[in-house]
Amino acid sequence: MSTTVAIIGRPNVGKSTLFNRLVGRRVALVSAEPGVTRDRREGTAHLFDLSFTVIDTAGLEEADGAALETRMRAQSERALAEADLALLLIDARAGVTPVDRHFADVVRRAKTPVVLVANKCEGAVGEAGRFEAFALGLGDPVAVSAEHALGLGDLRDAIAVHLADKGMYTEGETETETETETRDRAPSPAPLQLAIVGRPNVGKSTLVNRLLGEERVLTGPEVGITRDAIAVEWSYKDHAIRLIDTAGLRRKSRVSERLERLSTSDTLRAIRYAHVVVLVIDAAAPMEKQDLTIAAQAIEEGRGLVIAVNKWDVCTERARARAMIDDRLQRSLPQVRGIPVVTISALYGDKLERLLDAVIHLYDVWNRRVGTPALNRWLAAMTAAHPPPAPGGRRIKLRYMTQPKSRPPTFVIFCSKPGDLPDSYLRYLENGLREAFELPGTPLRLSLRKGDNPYAPKGRRKRKSG
């Protein structure tokens, strides 16, 4: 049975540090600056023999109206309501604050059971704060240090007691019948890793929320609301998708603060591990220099790229905007022909199905393999139609071709003088590959190696070279 544990508390008590400790790697951004975490982040926690879904939340703050803090608090309260168990963290070194007392009252009124956790208890400095926490009326506080991995055994025991009370865990059990069936079942296909990227305030988070059908990530007019990459498991037309919302990428020269540098690194990491990248651009300012820089980054990493032109519903010069996009893609990214461009309105949900169909199609192209016989028939036809150059009077021979890998499609040609084959001829071959084997929009890797057909019998290779 799936169990969800939400980590809640005021800002800077160590929620993200504990989240990273439980999932076993640095996932959430951690900084001394308050309010770093703004959106809910989920991960799979492993705490000794316990496994559960853990949710990192924004710091609980008192706020009213439409302020960003109000929206952050609503996200945290939603996580609290949906969780099976909450961990309320306090900073034992700072002691119990009035804000801690206020939100202890909030969680006490909630239906979700709560474990009180006194964090930062390394050494004697946190002892006084841990004893103060008894006054919150939430039971015995569990003393831990998320940063130094202290007290995790006690935390495990406290979580296990609450899960046992809800029938979700039995002390000493090894493997249930359901778990056995899950273990024996064939593994499900890995989800498509889909990263939503772009400049700040182009509508990335609005697009993610519209796709998911809920206010899963924060949106608003403020610049830079999203600070770290938030991944959500999702599905579309029976395709498992891991949807990743990312922080906006500004020009490197404008990034000065440490927190923004961390956010930028998180976004670049999301691009690096994605399968397909959706670059969201603003129809009012399409394909600016920074848009092209982000697109080039995705292509350099070998990711499939789809351009989503957002806010098309308010674009007054559509023909001009579309012509500008096509022209800049052709001039600035000629190495990848046929990049899909889809005009959308994330706010109203216009043409999102067309966008996702383009993503699925490009993912299939990105995974495509071409048989070796077909490749070598194609290579022979291409060299016959346009022979390679003959530097020094001796024509370069392209002898054999194969595709060693996909994701993205990668091809190797064995030839006599790889260093002498000009880039223009490589572009001729690459364009021919795209057209002959229907490989639009995806990066291609085409490399040359010196030698004969490595799969031919040795005697035959000697006769050829002689």
Within this chain, do residues 163 and 198 fall inside the same structural domain, yes or no? Answer: no
Report the relative pairing of strands 410-415 and 398-405 from DSSP bridges.
antiparallel
Judged by DSSP in three states, 413 sits in strand
Within this chain, do residues 140 and 215 fall inside the same structural domain, yes or no? Answer: no
Please write down the long-range contacts of 353-356, taking CB distance under 8 Å and 24 or more positions apart.
355/278, 355/306, 355/308, 356/211, 356/236, 356/237
Within this chain, do residues 163 and 233 fall inside the same structural domain, yes or no? Answer: no
Last residue of a domain, one of 140, 157, 183: 183
CATH code for position 444: 3.30.300.20
CATH code for position 55: 3.40.50.300
Within this chain, do residues 221 and 321 fall inside the same structural domain, yes or no? Answer: yes
Q: What is the DSSP letter of 124?
A: G
Higher-confidence residue: 66 or 447?
447
* pLDDT confidence tier of residue 371, bands split at 50, 70 and 90: very high
Last residue of a domain, one of 149, 183, 217: 183
Within this chain, do residues 64 and 140 fall inside the same structural domain, yes or no? Answer: yes
* pLDDT confidence tier of residue 73, bands split at 50, 70 and 90: low
* pLDDT confidence tier of residue 320, bands split at 50, 70 and 90: very high
Torsion, Cα of 432, 433, 439, 440 (10° steps) = -30
Q: At what angle do helices 289-300 and 258-273 cross, to 10 degrees?
A: 50
For residues 227-243, average pLDDT:
85
Within this chain, do residues 97 and 246 fall inside the same structural domain, yes or no? Answer: no
Within this chain, do residues 266 and 398 fall inside the same structural domain, yes or no? Answer: no
Last residue of a domain, one of 339, 366, 393: 366
Within this chain, do residues 271 and 401 fall inside the same structural domain, yes or no? Answer: no
Residue type, 56: D
Q: Which residues pair with 114 in a beta bridge?
A: 86
Instruction: Give the residue carrying structure tokens 């084959």.
Output: 421
**Domain tally, the chain:** 3
Tokens representing 324 are: 């500008």
pLDDT of residue 61: 59
185: left (phi over 0), alpha (psi -120 to 50) or beta: beta
Within this chain, do residues 17 and 156 fall inside the same structural domain, yes or no? Answer: yes
pTM tops 0.85, yes or no:
no
Tokens representing 372 are: 């070796």
∠ Cα 426 427 433 (to 5°): 90
Within this chain, do residues 390 and 324 fall inside the same structural domain, yes or no? Answer: no
pLDDT of residue 154: 92
Residue type, 268: L
Within this chain, do residues 134 and 282 fall inside the same structural domain, yes or no? Answer: no
Within this chain, do residues 323 and 437 fall inside the same structural domain, yes or no? Answer: no
Q: Give the DSSP letter string of 230-276.
A: EEEEEEETTEEEEEEE-PPPPPGGG--SHHHHHHHHHHHHHHHH-SE
**Domain extent for 380:** 372-465
pLDDT in tens, 50-70: 989 998 887 665 555 555 566
